[in-house]
Amino acid sequence: MRPMLIVQISDFHLKPEGVLAYDVAETASPLRRTVEHINHLQPMPDAVLITGDLVDEGAFESYQVLREILASLKLPFFMVPGNHDHKAGLREVFPEHRYLNGHVEPDGNKAICYTIEHFPVRLIGLDTVIPGEHGGGLNPGRLSWLDRVLSEKPDAPTVIFMHHPPFASGIGHMDKEVFAGRKELASIIGKHPQVERITCGHIHRAISRRFAGTTATVCPGVGMQLVLDLREEASSAFILEPPALMLHFFTELWGEKTLLTHVSIIEDHPLQYGGAHPFFDVVSPG
Ligand SMILES: [Fe+2]
């Protein structure tokens, strides 16, 4: 089998150059460091998935900053929008990313749902944005599109990536908006065991859980992390913990095909953690 190494990054919340997000967070610099970090990964990954909230307020100038920073990325990348994105602005700044044109829905909106077919893992990007809402979901049109494309290739190991997770996080303020169509999505996923993973953003923290017979993950944020407050009354707040990315590795290990996931913290500078220190004289004390 051909292995595949997939980077996932999420939730940059980019502001125009020189503007702090929520008066506190510098957003361009963590993304620049993240791109540097990805460019130095060994082995070199195959592709980068970007799971929404690319910018903070949908401003055109922020997408121009995004384009300038991502121009340094040495890998192909694929984006889906989040609730902070403006799809028309995104399309305008990345005209060569034709998959962003998606398909027109009955209400006239364009949904950015697409498949990428030329890698060892089939990639399916889903648009979970509901215009004007913070929460997300999948309407019947997007769900039936997903069911149809999954039916076309039942033997292709598949990763689905999207912004909103179709489950609650345990962080009270994020759980007030229930993912629309989550039960219908679960029943579709349950019919298609080739789905190795559903991976999302939106929560700005690393999360994993079972979902409809597959594994679901949420990627940490690049721009900021959410405060880890697992109370129902948790209020909306972020914390400037280090940015991080997910590295999804599709490979064969110990004679078993698997898709496994590591989390990699983005350093402030290349030797922040002192480089690699070899272990020695390690034996089991038992
Ligand atoms: Fe976000």
pLDDT band with cut points at 50, 70 and 90 for residue 232 = very high
Query: Does residue 1 have a pLDDT over 90?
Result: no
Q: What number is the average pLDDT over the span 67-78?
A: 98
Ligand 1 centroid – CA 49 distance (Å): 15
Q: What would the mean pLDDT of 18-22 be, rounded to a whole number? A: 94
> pTM for the full model?
0.97
| Rounded percentage of the chain residues whose pLDDT exceeds 70 | 100
Q: Mean pLDDT for the chain? A: 95
The predicted pLDDT at position 53 comes to 98
- Ligand 1: centre distance to CA 284 (Å): 44
Per-residue three-class SS string for the chain: CCCEEEEEECCCCECCCCCCECCCECCHHHHHHHHHHHHCCCCCCCEEEEECCCECCCCHHHHHHHHHHHCCCCCCEEEECCCCCCHHHHHHHCCCCHHHHCEECCCCCEECCEEECCCCCEEEEECCECCCCCCEECCHHHHHHHHHHHHHCCCCCEEEEECCCCCCCCCHHHHCCCCECHHHHHHHHHHCCCEEEEEECCCCCCEEEEECCEEEEECCCCCCEECCCCCCCCCCCEECCCCEEEEEEEEEECCEEEEEEEEEECCCCCCCCCCCCCCCCCCCCC
Q: What is the CA(201)–ligand 1 centre distance, in A?
A: 7
Distance from the CA of 53 to the center of ligand 1, in angstroms?
5
Q: How far is the CA of 256 from the centre of ligand 1 (A)?
A: 35
pLDDT at 17: 85
Interval between CA 7 and ligand 1 midpoint (Å): 18
pLDDT-derived band at 176, boundaries 50, 70, 90: very high
pLDDT digits (tens, 9 = 90+) for 121-142: 999 999 999 988 999 999 999 9
Q: Which domains does the chain have, with CATH numbers?
A: 4-265 (3.60.21.10)
Ligand 1 center to 202 CA (angstroms)? 4
Query: What's the rounded mean pLDDT across residues 177-182?
Result: 97
Q: What is the pLDDT of residue 110?
A: 82
Q: How many whole angstroms from 154 Cα to the centroid of ligand 1?
A: 32
pLDDT given for residue 283 in this prediction: 82
| Ligand 1 centroid – CA 13 distance (Å) | 6
